Structure 1
Amino acid sequence: MNPVADLAAVLDSAGDLIAGIARWDKPTPCPEWTVRELVNHLVLGHRLFTDVLRGAPGGSLDPKSEDVLGADPAAAYRRAAAKLLAEFGKPGVLAGQYTVPAGSVPGAAAARLLGTEHLVHGWDLAVATGQKPAFDDTVVARHIEFSQAKIADLPPGRRPFAPPVPVAGDASPLDRLAALLGRSPN
């Protein structure tokens, strides 16, 4: 499957979760961030990757460095996601090589990294806000496979999430991905 099509599906479902948020000050499984800060981090990530794909230096991912959400966080998320997907859709981008926070990767891997991040942070948002995420299990399974193959390649200082934790054998694909990347779905 095309990694950009998967990313688009993930961003759309994450956008639905974000649109359903009623309280932005709630804590998340990311102990240092509230719901608003976590969504701000995602939008900063959209901007960083969009810039990197354009050949410009990326900005900060620290949600406390700048608030880019404004009065309508869900709309800010969707606008940034649309710009990101437009950049990924340009000819040659998937084959290009880019330096992102996880290191130097081809464009296709950058799309998978972003999809994985949004799936896990979508899981975080769902837990924090009591929503049921609607990510496609088949897409999640592709991100599990990608993450299992790539996690060992990352230097310890560049791993974006915590070490894997055990998960029940009958866990959903999203819970399995969350556990692979250090979340505790139990």
Structure 2
Amino acid sequence: MTSTPVEDLATVLAMAGDLVAGVRPDQWDDPTPCTDWNVRQLVSHVVAGDRLFAAVLRGEAPPPPDALDPKKSGALGDDPVAAQRTAAHDLVAAVSRPGVLEQTFQIPVGSVPGVAAVRIRAVEAVVHGWDLARATGQQARFPDDIVQRVLEFSRAQLADIPRDRTPFAPSRPAPADAPPIDQLVALLGRPVRR
């Protein structure tokens, strides 16, 4: 069965929400594979990004820069699970509007078609979902077929980004027979343990 980029995004956002729901109260200050962020800051980064993209895709002004800084923003409020699920819902609603995938939008990395914006958010959900799972002792169970599409998109995009501007750490090796999630996170600079 073939799925659309919007369906892929909705699936990975829901699964990322399940990971957020699995964070124990004593884990919010724990470190993550994103060494600059703890668990709360990592989730805040994703929620703020989802809100930013939803606003841009609706034709609204993006949130102010401080609202996007995971160390400053109160993006999660008192209920991180509700904040993530609401931001995910709003993003899926924004990308589901007629014509959005064919339009061009200005996002922080430049001007992109709507379908690329959808795929960028899927990359964020999967990779940071993996980060969150690692940090909190959970399993990231994103479907291999979706992760494979995210991996292919990421490979193509990284080929066009100058090495000094990449938003990720340098790529790391992954075994050729590694599952798509391990290949993806290694491509985006995470060490893969087998």
Which TM-score tier does this pair reach, normalised by the shorter chain? over 0.9
Equivalent residue for 1:77, pick from 76, 84, 91: 84
User: What SS class does the counterpart of residue 5 from structure 1 fall into?
Assistant: helix
Deviation at 1:50, TM superposition (A): 0.9
2:157 aligned partner: 150
Equivalent residue for 2:36, pick from 3, 22, 32: 32
Cα distance in 2, alignment partners of residues 143 and 103 from structure 1: 19
Equivalent residue for 1:15, pick from 17, 26, 32: 17
Deviation at 1:109, TM superposition (A): 0.5
- Using the aligned pairs only, state the percent identity: 54
Count of residue pairs brought into register by the alignment: 186
Structure 1 contact 101–158 (Cα < 8 Å) conserved: no
User: What SS class does the counterpart of residue 115 from structure 1 fall into?
Assistant: helix
AA paired with 1:14?
A
List, as ranges, runs of 4+ consecutive aligned residues in structure 1 with deviation greater than 6 Å: none
Q: What are the residue-to-residue correspondences of 1:16-165 with 2, within 5 Å?
A: 16-22=18-24, 23-59=27-63, 60=65, 61-165=68-172
Under a length normalisation based on structure 2, what TM-score does the superposition of the two structures give?
A: 0.91
Deviation at 1:68, TM superposition (A): 1.5
Quote the RMSD (CA, aligned, Å).
1.2
Q: Flag structure 1 segments of 5+ consecutive residues without an equivalent.
A: none
Deviation at 1:173, TM superposition (A): 1.1
Equivalent residue for 2:188, pick from 177, 181, 184: 181
Cα distance in 1, alignment partners of residues 74 and 85 from structure 2: 15
Q: Identify which range, 103-112 or 47-56, moves more after superposition.
A: 47-56
Deviation at 1:49, TM superposition (A): 0.3
